Amino acid sequence: MGPNKLLLAFAGLIGVAVFLGVYKDDLSGGDENTAGGGDGTVTGLVVDMGGGGGVSLTNTDIDPDADPEKLRAADMFGWKSYPPAMAAADDTILNAHAVLTGLPTKRRLRQQPADYRILAHETGCTPRPPQAGERLVNISIGRAERPTDLHAYSEAEMAEDSLKWLTQVLNGKNYLKDDGIVRDHFVPVADVVLTDRSAPLYLVLQNGRNDVLWNLHAVPGVRIAHVATISAGTVALNPVPGEYGIQMFRAGGECVPKVARRPMEFWGLFQREQDDELRAIQARMAGNHATYDAWFRKAFGQPSEQGTIGFDLTHHVLVGPVPENKEARVPYRPIQGATVLITPQDYIFTAPKRDRVAFMMDLQRQLIAEAAGGDMAALSPAPMERTVQ
């Protein structure tokens, strides 16, 4: 090895040392994720550095002392909160570390359920009515975004993914990877922590956009009377043990309207410079809300905005009082290793990325071949030539 190579190797070692110093916490495997507690033993969480397509979390994610008031900002359709923000009653915000212990905070952490059970959508239009003495817990978020390794694909989404990939191929884009045809469709997790022991709880879990995995936590003494989810997307649930009914309603059809919050003045939709397009969106959202509110009143006997908890972008929700001290905090209940309930979908995976991608590539290839008329060769027709001069 010459002096040049020696010095470059030395430089490389320094670079690696700097990198490891900066990301030591990320690469350590996450000791807090192996903390035990609760009804699920929090062990063996995997820090998946190969997930790809995950969201970038801010540095506040690893700051248990972050000022919660600095963890949200008004966005187009409501509050956009940043980890470890936790939505609570009366539109208040907390630092989730004040409520939970063992909270997974690592960048790109993906928890992978061990298995899933299909829970079909309700065929009726009316949820079980709240009973006397039950307390209705009205949780409504726009979306969650923290990735998991629970993936759900509809054939429509697969067609869209194939279309995007084929568009790049046929447009001559270089350096395409074959596995780029398979995109992530993870079901993002939203944690719900129940500390309200005052009455049996009737949980109404609503999300306006995308898919969601509701990860329930309950302190001892909490009673769950019933759970109803309302969503236009795929919904999964990691339920806490107990005797209660679960109903999953598909929103957006003729039966149950799309979930729609009441438009508020602080939304970006109203704060931005107004034009006809924005005004049209405002009118449409107001109309959607009126429709949803009417259905909600009929279904649950109260306005859809009464006691609502949740931001437009939400990671954690608290229902009930904040633990009195650090020792009383609630152990995080992991998705990793759990068996979750999920609404029907064409393909559902609780598998490492490489297995999922390998499986889906084959399906996507078949889809494209069928679209092309049965033969992938049709995508690249042979040149033609003139043979008579």
Q: Amino acid letter at 326?
A: K
Output 223 or 365, the one with its CB closest to other proteins: 365
CB of 147 to other proteins, least distance (A): 11
CA dihedral defined by 91, 92, 94, 96, rounded to 10 degrees? -20
Are the CB atoms for 110 and 52 separated by under 8 Å?
no
Q: Is 257 in the site for other proteins (CB under 8 A)?
A: no
Distances (CA, A) of 33 to 47, 62, 65, 293: 9, 13, 18, 40
- CA-closest candidate to residue 198, choices 30, 319, 311, 307: 319
Q: Is 310 left (phi over 0), alpha (psi -120 to 50) or beta?
A: left
Output 128 or 365, the one with its CB closest to other proteins: 365
Q: Is 184 in the site for other proteins (CB under 8 A)?
A: no
Residue 263: count other Cβ atoms within 10 Å of its Cβ: 18
Q: Give the one residue of 91, 134, 179, 305 binding other proteins; rule: CB under 8 A.
A: 179
Q: Please report, as residue ranges, which positions from 19 to 58 form the binding site for other proteins (by CB under 8 A).
A: 19, 22-23, 49-54, 56
Q: Is 266 in the site for other proteins (CB under 8 A)?
A: no
Q: Give the one residue of 126, 168, 247, 302 binding other proteins; rule: CB under 8 A.
A: 168
d(CA 162, CA 180): 9
Judged by DSSP in three states, 130 sits in coil
Q: Is 220 in the site for other proteins (CB under 8 A)?
A: no
Q: Is 280 in the site for other proteins (CB under 8 A)?
A: no
CB of 19 to other proteins, least distance (A): 4
CB of 145 to other proteins, least distance (A): 14
Q: Where are the alpha helices (DSSP H) in 2-136?
A: 3-22, 24-27
Q: Give the one residue of 178, 198, 328, 346 binding other proteins; rule: CB under 8 A.
A: 178
Output 90 or 375, the one with its CB closest to other proteins: 375
- CA-closest candidate to residue 353, choices 202, 147, 135, 211: 147
Q: Is 200 left (phi over 0), alpha (psi -120 to 50) or beta?
A: beta
Residue 36: count other Cβ atoms within 10 Å of its Cβ: 10
Separation of CA 26 from chain center: 21
Q: Give the one residue of 170, 199, 280, 286 binding other proteins; rule: CB under 8 A.
A: 170
Output 23 or 266, the one with its CB closest to other proteins: 23
Q: Please report, as residue ranges, which positions from 335 to 374 form the binding site for other proteins (by CB under 8 A).
A: 354, 357-358, 361-362, 365, 367-368, 371-373
State the helix-helix crossing angle for 155-170 and 353-371, rounded to 10 degrees: 70
Q: Give the one residue of 133, 171, 243, 327 binding other proteins; rule: CB under 8 A.
A: 171
Q: Give the one residue of 70, 117, 173, 297 binding other proteins; rule: CB under 8 A.
A: 173
Are the CB atoms for 257 and 231 separated by under 8 Å?
no
CB of 160 to other proteins, least distance (A): 8
Q: Is 119 in the site for other proteins (CB under 8 A)?
A: no
Output 82 or 292, the one with its CB closest to other proteins: 82
Q: Give the one residue of 36, 155, 287, 346 binding other proteins; rule: CB under 8 A.
A: 155
- Give 267-293 as a 3 state SS string: CHHHHCCCCHHHHHHHHHHHHHHHHHH
Residues that bind other proteins (CB under 8 A): 3-4, 7-8, 10-12, 14-16, 18-19, 22-23, 49-54, 56, 108, 155-156, 159-160, 162-163, 166-174, 176, 178-179, 181, 354, 357-358, 361-362, 365, 367-368, 371-373, 376, 378-389
